[in-house]
Structure 1
């Protein structure tokens, strides 16, 4: 019996959709490289008796993920140092650099198309360094531990490669000191947006 082109096209489409895209199996590794923007929330608490805000910054990002089960991976996020302006009472008071390595447990939904969404939760450690104060004082921000959650999706572009878009929330609160005296807590709590290329090994 001769098959019509429409039936053949439908059969081909069903076959393609039945093959999981960019499927991650137990024991797989993925490596990701891209850019990430760290955008602190609009109200960053009170420092030295006045409202404080921190600027955003965009840097290079790296991720490594190991799959302990099919579609379930442990991911480490790293990045080049972020630098933030610290404004107190609407005026520039200083700057600080920070690194926010984050360890997450991610679940990648086993979809049958080229788009594979994922969610994750974990722990963030943020270390601050090279703080400066415009008045010449000694500004210090304590390191911070907090939780982190994320959601994103991979779009398969080759057998082992995908483009990734993800959004992450980090709980970052840093006690601040000027010349050794406490001036309050910087409630940074940023949302990050990342775009990267991810390769599976």
Structure 2
């Protein structure tokens, strides 16, 4: 829990101070966009080597939530969250461990055509990934496995499809830099270079 505190503090500070900067920049009561959907975390195919063996982390899909505050019609700051993702780790193709992770991300987005029915956007931000409940399986069954938390940059691109003044559909993808030391029995066996692409699809409500 202690490892989550810096990100929680950053998120709370960002969202509570934004209205002071944006109160006069967006007309009407539509400065917030709340999106509900699903996200798929697809790790890099080259995850590195652990204990001298090629590591592979599988994909995971979970429900997601995204809250964006519009500083201006073009610029917005968002916070991404999701239910915990569960991944299987394979070494040389054989199951070796499972882990869960939460990858909250804070970012700033630029919307190219905010008043059009179709509006593409790009963004960049900071990600904090918290790994927990890691367990040795298969090759490492019974072993104590831990994966360190990770801070890294994130990039985003997507498009909003406006249904009406309140509702929209969003499709996006993110690249997140995730590098984590892996330990077995307290001994470091390598670094996992996960660096996933995150595919998202959501329905949003603007208010």
CA contact (8 A) 2:67 2:79 kept: yes
Matched, 1:43 2:49: no
* Equivalent in the alignment of 2:26: 25
- Could you say which structure has the larger radius of gyration? 1
Distance 2:66 2:200 in 1: 11
| Shift in Å, 1:192 | 0.9
* Equivalent in the alignment of 1:84: 87
| Shift in Å, 1:89 | 1.5
Bigger mean CA deviation after superposition, 30-39 or 108-117? 108-117
Give per-residue Cα distances to partners, 1:27-47, cap 9 Å, x unaligned. 701100000110001010000
Question: Once superposed, what is the RMSD of the aligned Cα atoms?
Answer: 1.4
Matched, 1:153 2:159: yes
Matched, 1:170 2:176: yes
Distance 2:76 2:151 in 1: 22
Give per-residue Cα distances to partners, 1:36-84, cap 9 Å, x unaligned. 1100010100001110000001000000011122321110000000000
Q: TM-score, normalised by structure 2?
A: 0.83
Q: Which has the higher helix share?
A: 2
Q: Structure 2 regions of 5+ residues with no counterpart?
A: 1-24
CA contact (8 A) 1:139 1:177 kept: yes
Distance 2:42 2:36 in 1: 19
* Equivalent in the alignment of 1:8: none
Q: TM-score, normalised by structure 1?
A: 0.86
Matched, 1:97 2:103: no
Runs of 4+ in 1 over 4 A off after TM superposition: none
Q: Structure 1 regions of 5+ residues with no counterpart?
A: 1-23
CA contact (8 A) 1:125 1:143 kept: yes
Distance 2:145 2:53 in 1: 16
CA contact (8 A) 2:41 2:197 kept: yes
Matched, 1:193 2:199: yes
* Equivalent in the alignment of 2:113: 110
| Shift in Å, 1:25 | 2.7
Matched, 1:34 2:37: yes
Aligned length: 178
